[in-house]
Amino acid sequence: MAQSLESIPNNVDLSSDRRLQRALEQWQPNFLSWWKEVGPEGFQAHDIYLRTAISVEANGWAHFDYVKMPDYRWGIFLEPHDGERTIGFGDAMGEKVWTDVPGEHRNALRRIIVTQADTEPASVEQQRLLGKTCPSMYDLRNLFQVNVEEGRHLWAMVYLLHRFFGRDGREEADELLQRRSGSSDKPRILNAFNEPIDDWLSFFMFAMFTDRDGKYQLAALAQSGFDPLARTTRFMLTEEAHHLFVGETGVDRVVQRCAELMAAGKDPAREGAVPFALIQKYINLWFPLSLDLFGGEVSSNAADFFASGLKGRFREDTLEEHKAMGQTYRLEVPENGKLVAQEVPLRNAMNEVLRDEYVKDCQRAVDRWNKTLAKAGVTGMTLKLPNRRFHRGVGPNSGLFFDPDGKWLSAADYKSQEATFLPTAEDRVFVRSLMHPVTEPGKVASWIAQPNKGIDGKPLDFEYVKPPQA
Ligand SMILES: [Fe+2]
Ligand SMILES: [Fe+2]
């Protein structure tokens, strides 16, 4: 059933803006065809126990009920005004925030919004086949929750494009539905969003590491002087927390299952679980891919975005100093075959400053996984984040070879050890071979531990996904 625009929950007074309505009315059927074509395959007619944001009030943003995904009410929400906001950093600090796009920042803002927007449909495309191999009903429901909310994030960004960027905004909105993850002629903009996610270990790693980049990008944009962008991304962050939970606890449950088998003297691989070394290799793959999303270590774009008040630091509003002038940031960069220290102006290191916060957060999650290992009785083995230089595709270390400890290797040395660093083709085949669907409520696959508790206070054996009635 096609939705009418009236059914779109929103707090942007959609019904009073005829021009915007017309633009969205034209875009909406294309969005729905895109969803049906490359959204979750095989589950469009199922009833899924989903959370829908129906208002921004505390009791409205997490309304739970059964819904078929194509009927999901993709809403448009901005965090409500909090009085008079002023720009909180950069050269225009203290001036009133912009409620419209300033001409001089139009191109930069459009680029920022399109780049963020492109990741939302991309991840839905990447994950479209996963439903067929779900480890449990609980996980299946969480996958679809993430998928529909990424769909809503696309709506949120498309609203900004349609509302504030006129004709080129509409063109950009159309192109967001035309690019395809992994396509050779029209790929998604960022690399990690063209990687295949065809097994659930990759999905959990993606939700843990790659979606977490999204949290930091959104948090930096939540400080933006362009008020509609700041308020849109603030609301998106409330949903993003669940995605990160799905990733972090998903990996944790894989670790737990592996640890329990090892502690019992069994070989996880023979018991249909993921061996410890493979979990480490998947971390080694997804962490650097996600680090790359923050951009180059030294970036004049990042400096410009900060100077002009478009993109702040993580929790900029809690920092003491907001100009970042006359300060430097110390980096280690490769030069003539050696790593040398370099001091760069702080503003030019803003990507790296944001990446620092991200890395701390990832380390916190790895510490938690290591606690799970220890609690199960596994000693002398811990999971690690690879060094930031390892396997990078962006920045001064890209094209060079480092091991996961950050040691510089020759291309030949790297090649000879690569199979111990990163998942091989056989590793991927093995992981895929574990992925048998488990759809009996309350049961989980052999390679993952039970979750701690259900969704929305429901029991673990709740029927989170119901097949269509015959
Ligand atoms: Fe998102
Ligand atoms: Fe997300």
According to DSSP, the residues that pair with 63 across neighbouring strands are 52
* Ligand 2 centroid distance, CA of 37 (Å): 20
* Ligand 2 centroid distance, CA of 456 (Å): 19
pLDDT in tens, 163-178: 999 999 999 999 999 9
Supply 364's token pair.
């916190």
Beta carbons of 257 and 251 less than 8 angstroms apart: no
Mean pLDDT of 108-122: 97
- pLDDT confidence tier of residue 59, bands split at 50, 70 and 90: confident
Mean pLDDT of 39-54: 94
* Ligand 2 centroid distance, CA of 333 (Å): 32
Beta carbons of 228 and 216 less than 8 angstroms apart: no
Place of tokens 């990078």: 392
In the prediction, which pLDDT does 377 show?
97
Q: What angle do CA 335, 339, 343 make, to 5 degrees?
A: 85
* Type and span of the H or E element at 340: strand 338-345
In the prediction, which pLDDT does 454 show?
96
* Ligand 1 centroid distance, CA of 59 (Å): 21
3-state secondary structure of 382: coil
Task: Please tell me the number of the ligand nearest to residue 152's CA.
Answer: 1
Task: Please tell me the number of the ligand nearest to residue 151's CA.
Answer: 1
- pLDDT confidence tier of residue 2, bands split at 50, 70 and 90: very low
| Cα–Cα distance measured from residue 274 to residue 152, given in angstroms and rounded to the nearest whole number | 33
| Cα–Cα distance measured from residue 470 to residue 460, given in angstroms and rounded to the nearest whole number | 25
Beta carbons of 316 and 223 less than 8 angstroms apart: yes
- pLDDT confidence tier of residue 58, bands split at 50, 70 and 90: confident
In the prediction, which pLDDT does 196 show?
85
Which of 373, 371, 366 is CA-nearest to residue 260?
373
Least confident of 44-53, 75-84, 218-227: 75-84
Q: Which residues keep their CB under 5 angstroms from ion ligand 2?
A: 211, 243
Residues ≥6 apart with Cβ < 8 Å to 226: 97, 98, 101, 102, 105, 109, 310
| Cα–Cα distance measured from residue 96 to residue 342, given in angstroms and rounded to the nearest whole number | 36
* Ligand 2 centroid distance, CA of 185 (Å): 25
In the prediction, which pLDDT does 62 show?
84
Q: Tell me what the pLDDT averaged over the chain comes to.
A: 95
Place of tokens 């960004």: 157
| Percent of the chain whose pLDDT exceeds 70 | 98
> Helices (DSSP H) in 165-322: which residue ranges?
166-176, 200-205, 211-221, 227-263, 276-292, 300-307
pLDDT in tens, 212-264: 999 999 999 999 999 999 999 999 998 999 999 999 999 999 999 999 999 99
* Ligand 2 centroid distance, CA of 151 (Å): 10
Mean pLDDT of 432-459: 97
In the prediction, which pLDDT does 1 show?
39
Question: Above 70 in pLDDT, residue 4?
Answer: no
In the prediction, which pLDDT does 3 show?
53
**Where in the chain are the domains?**
5-466
Place of tokens 């994030």: 153
Q: In what order do the strands lie in the sheet with 47-52?
A: 63-67, 47-52, 465-466
Q: pTM of the predicted model, to two decimals?
A: 0.96
DSSP label at residue 413: H
pLDDT in tens, 309-329: 999 999 999 999 999 999 999
* Ligand 1 centroid distance, CA of 439 (Å): 27
Under CATH, which number does the domain 5-466 receive?
1.10.620.20
* Ligand 2 centroid distance, CA of 243 (Å): 5
| Cα–Cα distance measured from residue 366 to residue 40, given in angstroms and rounded to the nearest whole number | 30
